[in-house]
Every structure is written in structure tokens, then in C-alpha cells.
Structure 1
Amino acid sequence: MVNHLILGAYLNVLILRTNADQFSCHLKPFGCYKPPTVDVEEFTVEDAPVPEVFFKSYVSQEKAAIFRSVVSESDAAQLWTDEYISENFGDMEVRLEAKNETTHLPPKGEKYLGRDNLRHFTRTYHQNHNNVYIVSDLPKSMYKDVGVIPSFGACGEMARRIVEVDIWWSGGGTSSIIHKDEHNQINCLLNGTKYWKLIESKYEKFLYKHPESDFELGGFSDIDPTAIDLDEFPDVTKIEWSEFTMHSGDCLFLPKGYYHLVSSEGTHNLAVSLLFSRFDGADAIDFSDCEVNIDMKSLRSLADFEVQWQWEGRGTMVMGRQDLEERYRAVFEQYVRTMGGCKINRDGILNMIKEKFTPGDLVMRVGDVNNVFPIVDLNNDGFVTCEEINHLTSNDLIAVAGEIEPYEPSAVYWFEYSVIPFENVWVALNYCMTTYSTFQESVWLKHYVQLGGTSSFGKEIYERLVGGNSTGVKSSEISDDLIWHAMENWVKYWAPQYSNLSKMPTRADSRSLWAAAGTDAIDEDEAMEMNEKVSGATVPSDDYGNLREEL
């Protein structure tokens, strides 16, 4: 009896101590509540598993692994200095993000918002207070320098299922939110240092995942990893996690669905990531081309591999596209087999697209789903069979994806029309015309650039409003019709993910536009002034205060 009492008291002390430790971690960084307890296996060139073992023991089991110093001798690790890249790949374009993933607006490149050429980037990314981070498709011309590790690329089906290749490059000081990616990936650090925290997918229920469409296989947590609110997110303390550091030449196998948190340091922090198929439910895949004595010492050049979505370094980017085999061929084949007995007509294909590929009412497409049927009806007999689906080429599947996949604003040169939301531009424009008797270019551009935009896009609005009048026009002469004409492209490329509006803006929305405008449109004093000047579209000043708090 005494022993039971002593044991009970001891357990109570442990519980109280644990609760006290957890309470002390309120508003502290992720992981404060307990040390990392999940080991991640490490390999070198000498003991790395052959591709089949790597697939069976790690990829199919969704088990992370680190490969130390395996790409240190690759051309990319040896040659990719600022000078070399500027000289050899300077005209190539890349996508830009802010170093901190919680920042809404992307940085400005030499010409565009969220996009830059590598020559300009290498000249500017070391500047003080520079917030620029390349998170982009790797231009195809750079593939030749990238070495692919033997455990993944020596032979076998994994090496034939690379979906896309990405580049991550900054001057250090980057930090991510807690998130997961859709695909498996081999992430290789070519320069600098990165600090990783990994969370297995089985702990997702404790991560307070941000609500998203069921079509999304990636995702992120609503938790702020720098200061976790344990009152709001108490279950975080139930998560077991891993922690490790990657150095130049190291590669990480990051399984699909693994949540991770990454920060970087080093004035030249550069990584390349190979994203490959998920292989959901596949216990075994094809390794028939693997020889008995596999060369596990030599890297293969990425240029020797077929990559589904290749980026030429100009034009529309392809980052974030779907797996052609798993998302298109397999889904089409299964639907045709199940719903049509391996034979289906045009209406059946359109129904499948609506059911399997349309994530919500607000989906925007560049393509036209009506063009899909002629692509997949290879013999033009008015039906699509399982055999035809299996005979589609990679180019056929790319054409199908082009007609189906949602419009991604950050992939195009005119990203600015979407990411600088219509309502902010509209409010800033109306403020200028109400405040200043003459609508002048310099005044307008000052306000537009304050929104985060570029002068060239701001000039488009100005020139549409005033024509060739370089001195400006009377604000009273600018009609409502002219305003909507000037902002035509902000309506055309309006995207819900960047806007506070629930639908594409129309002239009937004038009142809601004032309430929806973000904090960049006009400051609070200007908002109060507008209340007095604009009749029929006023917003109480405390609404702007509340909106500021929300944003």
C-alpha cells in the first residue's frame, strides 16, 4: 500500500513537472516542449543503399534518410559561384519569394514582381536588408551541372519518374512555416547550412493543418513555429520530431507528406531538389534495368534524365504542376475502366474532369477542358479506351494538363495583376482622385509602388486614364467608366487567394471594395479622410482598425 502511494505521488510530480515544462514553452519556438526523439538514418557514399533497397526500406515506408557529402564533387557544388552563374546562366529567369514565408507580397526583380533574371539576382541578393529568396523551377540549361545520387538515380523506375526540379537560393536568413509537400523529394544542399525539423505525417492531427481543398496533397500548419500559442494549439506537445543540420554536399530524402520546418544561414545558400512520384500504395516498382554490380560511387548528370515538367528559363513557369503519370494517366485510366468498361465518350471525359480535377467553384483555368477529348481520342472515333490512355505520350499528357490545371498567377509575367489585389488599387486610385485636383503620374506612381507594385504596371493605369497627357488631367474629368477600363487587367486576372473579396469585382461592389482594401491601399489617416470625402461608400474608421488587426 505504501509503495502504491509513493508511486502515485511520484507520477503526480512527473505530470506536474511535464505540465510546468510545457507551460514554460508557451509562445516559444516549436520543439521547446520536448527534445527531438525520432532518429533519421544517415549514409555516406560507402554504405548508401542500392535503388531497390532504398525504395523498399525508405520511399515506400515514408522514412526520411540523410546522405552525407554525396554531391560535394558535383559540378554544381564545385562551380556554382555568383560569377559563374551570372556568366553562364545570367539570362535565365527564376521565381522569387520573400525570405520569410509569412510575408504576403513577393520581392521585385529587375522587371517583374516575383521574377528575376539570374544576372540581376547575383548582383543584388547580398545587399543589406535584401529580402529575396529564389524558390523556383531550375532552368533546364543548368541540369548538366547537377549530380544525381546513385541510391535514387543509378537505375530503376524512380529515376524515370522525376516530376520537377527546383532551386532554392538566398543570402541566408530564410525561415519557413511548418508545411508538407505533395511529392517525394531528394533535396541536396550545394552551399551553406540548413537546419531542419521533421514531423512524420502520422502527427498531422496535432498540427492544426490549415483547411484546404481535398484536391491539395500539400499543406501547412496554422501554428506560428517561432512562438507557439499553447492555449490555442495545446496538442502540439504530443508531437515527436526530428532535428538535424545539413551542410554543403549533403542530400536529404524527404518523404511525401512529411511536415518540415527549415531555416538557413550562409551568405550563399543554394540547394536543388528533385521532386518525384508519390508511388502511393506501391510495395514494389520496376528495377529490371538494374545490373548485379550497380555503380554506387558515381553521380549521374541530371541532364541524362527525363523530367516531366521542364523549365526553359523563360515564359510560363511549371513549378507545382501535377504528376503526369499518377495524376493524369492513372486517374484517366481508372475512370474509363470503372465508369465505361474501358470505353467512354466525350461527355464521360468532361464529367470525369469535373469530378476529379475541379477544386471548387472559383477555379480559374488558362486552358479549355473541351479541348481534352480530341487529345485523348487518338483514333478520332468518338470514344476513348483504356488502350488509348495507355498509349498517350508525355507530350499528350502535358497538353491535357495545360487544358485542365488551374491558373497559377505566380507562373506568369503578369503575376502583378493578381497579387496586388484589385480592391487595394481601386481604393488608392479613388483616394488620389479625391484628394488631388490634378491626377499626376508622379503622385499616382508613389501610391501604387506603396502597394508593393512596380512602376511599369502603375504606368499602365496612368496611361489608360490620361492618354498621352504627360502633365496629368483634372481628377474630376476621370469617369467611372475610365477607371474600370484602366483596371481591366486587375479584373481579368483577379485571383481569390490574394484578395479579400469573395468573388471577381464588379461595379456593384464599390461599397465592399472600401471595406476589403488591405492596409497597403491607404493608411488609417487617409482612410478617415476618405470617410468625409466619399459619399455613399464610407467606412467607419474603427473598421479599418479591426481590418488591420485581422490582416
Structure 2
Amino acid sequence: MRLFMLPPTTAVVALFLWSLLVPLTTETSAGVPKGHGEPLGNHRDSDGHVDILTTLPSPQEFWDKYVSKRRPVLFSGAARSSPGMQLWTDEYMLEKFGDLKVRIEGKHQKEGKYPEGEKGIAQDTLRNVLQTYRTRDVYVVSQIPDPLTEQVAVLPFLTCGTFKDHILESNLWLGGHGTQSQIHKDADNAINCLFSGTKTWIMISQDYEHLLPVVSSGGYSARATIDPDDVDLIKYPKFSEVPYTHVDMKPGDCLFIPASHWHQVNSHGSKNLAVSIMMSRLKEVDLSECDGIDLDFKPLSEMNMVFTYDGYSEQTMGDMDPFELRERIVELCSAIKELSFSAVYHEFFHKEDEDNEVINNAIDTEMAKGKSSKQQDLHQNKQIFAILDTDGDNFLSCDEEVLPKLSIETLKNLANIISYDPSNSEEYEFSRMGTEVIRILIEHVINKLSNDKAPKMTKEQFLLRYRAVGGSRPVGSQLYDMMDPSQQGYITREMVLSKMEDVISLYDNGLHPHHTQNMPWQADIEIPGSLINEVGTKQQWKAQKIRDDL
């Protein structure tokens, strides 16, 4: 065989040129971008670990070096001052806190599904979680119940000045091995303290947001559509240019995540337990009261946290910052002295709807009922008016009705209306399913019971069908008991028919349950405009699929 050989000089030159070109390309030898189809972080090398501090900064240092610059930092060992880090074994938590209710998600956010708990979809008891989290696809992502806050220590630099007055809420994170988040950003500043297990983080500055495929939630929070397990650089080629830093957290560490700083988290260990404290997006601070005083760790229960949760009622996790809400309202009132229904709707729900003609003509309130997001927004807007419109004229006078009412409690109520998340309550299941699904199910049950061969249906037979359409056992049992009030152990066609409308009414609207009962706006406040044309269309394909499944 005869081999083709380059002259020595030519070969050296070619090798030199190749060595220059290789570092400049982000493609593999096959022409595929580096890291394509691989887990997040393989598209390029990390720019390094975020700063690690072994001593805690002063409040001013924390502001100057990290918060104001939106720069993440790891406080090594800072969580070890929290009693909960030593106390919160599964056995201890079962005994002390087992009956408390928590919000749950699946281990992988990208699936977008909420699992079933003892209290329904997305709602569980801490007892059930602690007994099943090692083998079940469940992850506690919940506002922390008040009884646990006594055993969580707030870092000293947050206990004075503006920082102490702007602690919004605290969240509990608990799961087993394999919990994973999407690439996302949060609206508020956060400090995440790890009590058990380890976490690895990919951190991406907001300066590179323009290179991410972003799905906005309508506020400051958002997520990227990239799969962290399988990064598609053919579909999203700009992501190859995104630099990142990383974080390796061990038990006892606390991580500061700046507001709007993109991140993705993987949790490891048979038990992964963390607590986060959320703070306002601050533009400026007054830390003068911090000067000359000895700062120490302080129990979270002793802080004046804005949103708290008793462990039994409805959560307010993720509600809008009331301090920022006040700023928005004041700014709106500086431009418009009298706020119409349309002006408030545009400001807080659909700023993209520029044409006021869409919502100018009055329509019957009942016509606006339904499941679509805009219908819910309309009803939420009416709830705002129910609080502020004291004279019932469908206009808000800034000087008389709005600005004098902006106490922190009123702002919290308004924030809960504007940013209400149904998954924070046991009503989520009713909201998610809606009247269309439950009506199809009930009609199916009636048809089954109309057959002379099967005139009765047991509870287990009903639950099998209810869970088949996405319901939970606890709520299904509630419905069955409504139809079998005498506890005969079965239901008949007549029993179902007599309770049919009562059952369906539970799923009506999918609106905030606390704001849809006995409210004066239901009869008195009109919804302007022809928005009804944009909302309320039935999803016939979905209805047919449910019928086919049954």
C-alpha cells in the first residue's frame, strides 16, 4: 500500500493551523455543538464556583458586594446555627409536626404534574410525606408552617434595617434522591439553607437572559424551555454562548440567590431538606440602625415576616411583594387620578391588551363565568374593586379610596388576589378539573347506573372512575359521601341525580374560593367589554378524550 505523505514543512504548518482553530469552535468532530443532547453544564466549562465565605458579612457588606450587584454567594456552615438542622430527623418531625399540611410537587418540575396527597392534588400532610418520600415521586415545595419557624435561625445580617422589614416568606423543601428543577428565575432575593443532603446548582446571570428560550409567568419569575437532562443545542443554538458558575452545597451551607438570577438545581441524598427565606427586590436600603449593635442569629419566629402560614389553612406562597405592589399603585395613581375597571385590569392582569374597546361595554356578570385564564382575571379584578370601591361606582378615586387604604394588610389581600395560585389550597383540584370534566364523569356514572345489570355503584368503583379523570382519592371520597349521605355503601342513579348539581357546583369557575361566596361584587359590579368573545370556549377535543378514557 502506498501512503500519501505531506512534506515535513507543510505538515508542521497544517498542524499549527489546526491547533489554532480547535479552541475556537464549540462543535464536536461530527459537527454537533459541544454538549448537545447532554446534561446542563456540558456545553462549556464553568466560570468557577461562586464566592464562598467562611465568615458572615455585615449588613452593609452584604448589600454592597452581593445584593446591590446581584451576585450569588455561599455562606459555608451558616445553617448550623439553626436548631432544626440537628433536630429534624424523620422521627422527630413525625411526632412534632406530622399533622401539618404542606404543598407538594413531583420530583421533576419539567413534568409539570402535581402528585396526590392525603389532602388532595398538590396537598399532603407532613406525616404522609415523611412516611413515603423515599419511595414516592413527591417533593415538598411549601410555605413553611409556623411551628417549624422556631427552629430556623435567620442570618445576623438580615436582622436589622431594611433587610429585617422586607422578609417576605419562608419555604420548606423536602424530598428524596433525584429531585430536579428547571432552569428558572425567581422574583425575589432568596437565601437557601441546606439541612440535609447535597445540592448542585448551575447559576446564570440575568445579563444573558437574551440567549435563553424564556417562558414568562407574567411577573418577574420565568423559566427556560431547555431540558436540563438533554440540552438541545440544535433547537437553541444561542445557549452555547451562555456562561455559568456553579455551586456545590453541603449540609450546613446557605446560598444567596439574587432576584432574577437564573439557576437550575439538582438535589442528592436519600433525604434532602432545606429552608429558604425570601426577601424583597430592593433598590436601596437604610442600614443605619445596624451600626454599633451586636448582631446574632435570631429565630425566624421572632421576625416580622410578611406572609406566614399556620400549617392548616391556605398558603400564600409566591404572592406578590406588597411593598412593590404599593409602588405600582402609587405610580399608577400619579398618572391617573381616577382608576377605571379597565385601567386596573390592564395594569395587573393583561397589559398587552392595548385596545380599551375590548373591555368598554358592560356585559352580564354571569356570562363571564368559566375556566379560562382571562375569565379568572376578570373575577380577580372584581375582587380588587370589592375591597377598594367603597361607593360602588365602578371607579376608584386615588385620593379618597385607594391611597388612604394601602396598609400592609390591605396590600397583602390585594397581592393574594392578583397572584393567587390555586395549588396553595385544597381547592386546587376543583380549579384544575373544572365543570366540564366533572360533568362528563357524572353523566358517565348515571349512564352506568341506568343499566339494569348494575343499578348500584360502590365507593371503590366510583373512586376508580374519578381518579381516572385526574382526581384524587380524598376529594373523590368527599363527592361520594355527598351522594351517599346516609352511608348506605352504594349510590344509585336517583341518588346521583339528586346531588349532581351540588357536586358540579364545587368545580364552577375554578376561582379563589374565599372570594366567590357572598361577595357584594357578584351582583353589583359589572364587567366591561366584549372580553367574553376571547374567553369561555369549550375544549371539545379534551372532553372527547375524557369520554374515550372512561
TM norm structure 1: 0.78
Cα distance in 1, alignment partners of residues 255 and 25 from structure 2 = 38
Cα distance in 2, alignment partners of residues 372 and 7 from structure 1 = 74
Cα distance in 2, alignment partners of residues 106 and 388 from structure 1 = 38
**2:182 counterpart residue number:** 177
**2:42 counterpart residue number:** 32
Counterpart amino acid of residue 265 in structure 1: H
Mapped pair 1:81 → 2:95: no
- For residue 267 of structure 1, the aligned residue among 270, 277, 282 is 270
> CA shift at 1:252, angstroms?
0.5
Counterpart amino acid of residue 44 in structure 1: T
Cα distance in 1, alignment partners of residues 191 and 297 from structure 2 = 14
**1:314 counterpart residue number:** 312
Structure 1 residues 200 and 375: alpha-carbon distance in aligned structure 2, compared to 1, 3 A threshold: farther
Structure 1 residues 406 and 397: alpha-carbon distance in aligned structure 2, compared to 1, 3 A threshold: closer
**Runs of 5+ consecutive residues of structure 1 not aligned to the other structure:** 341-346, 496-501, 531-551
Aligned with 2:320: secondary structure? coil
**1:454 counterpart residue number:** 472
Cα distance in 2, alignment partners of residues 324 and 406 from structure 1 = 11
Cα distance in 2, alignment partners of residues 466 and 81 from structure 1 = 42
**1:122 counterpart residue number:** 130
Mapped pair 1:289 → 2:308: no
CA contact (8 A) 1:28 1:226 kept: yes
- For residue 106 of structure 1, the aligned residue among 104, 107, 114 is 114
CA contact (8 A) 2:35 2:43 kept: yes
> CA shift at 1:202, angstroms?
1.3
Aligned with 2:423: secondary structure? helix
Mapped pair 1:408 → 2:399: no
- For residue 298 of structure 2, the aligned residue among 297, 300, 303 is 300
Counterpart amino acid of residue 105 in structure 1: K
**2:258 counterpart residue number:** 255
Higher RCO (C-alpha 8 Å, min separation 6): 2
CA contact (8 A) 1:65 1:252 kept: yes
Structure 1 residues 117 and 459: alpha-carbon distance in aligned structure 2, compared to 1, 3 A threshold: closer
CA contact (8 A) 1:422 1:494 kept: no
The range that moved more, 101-110 or 173-182, is 101-110
C-alpha distance after superposition, 1:346-400 (max 9, x if no partner): x4275653232224733345672223326899xxxx9544998488432232244
**1:542 counterpart residue number:** none
Structure 1 residues 461 and 504: alpha-carbon distance in aligned structure 2, compared to 1, 3 A threshold: farther
Mapped pair 1:348 → 2:339: yes
- For residue 187 of structure 1, the aligned residue among 173, 176, 192 is 192
> CA shift at 1:330, angstroms?
1.4
**2:492 counterpart residue number:** 473
Matches within 5 A, 1:79-228: 79-126=87-134, 128=135, 130-151=136-157, 153-213=158-218, 216-228=219-231
Cα distance in 2, alignment partners of residues 236 and 411 from structure 1 = 33
CA contact (8 A) 1:429 1:444 kept: no
**2:322 counterpart residue number:** 324
Structure 1 residues 375 and 253: alpha-carbon distance in aligned structure 2, compared to 1, 3 A threshold: farther
**1:343 counterpart residue number:** none
Counterpart amino acid of residue 412 in structure 1: S
**Runs of 5+ consecutive residues of structure 2 not aligned to the other structure:** 1-9, 351-372, 513-533
**1:440 counterpart residue number:** 457
CA contact (8 A) 1:22 1:33 kept: no
Cα distance in 2, alignment partners of residues 13 and 6 from structure 1 = 11
Aligned with 1:334: secondary structure? helix
Structure 1 residues 492 and 464: alpha-carbon distance in aligned structure 2, compared to 1, 3 A threshold: farther
**1:488 counterpart residue number:** 505
RMSD of aligned alpha carbons: 3.5
- For residue 368 of structure 1, the aligned residue among 372, 383, 386 is 383
Cα distance in 2, alignment partners of residues 116 and 459 from structure 1 = 16
Counterpart amino acid of residue 68 in structure 2: S
Cα distance in 1, alignment partners of residues 153 and 70 from structure 2 = 23
Aligned length: 485
CA contact (8 A) 1:95 1:114 kept: yes
Aligned with 1:119: secondary structure? helix
**1:240 counterpart residue number:** 243
CA contact (8 A) 2:339 2:398 kept: no
> CA shift at 1:99, angstroms?
1.1
CA contact (8 A) 1:363 1:406 kept: no
Identity %: 26
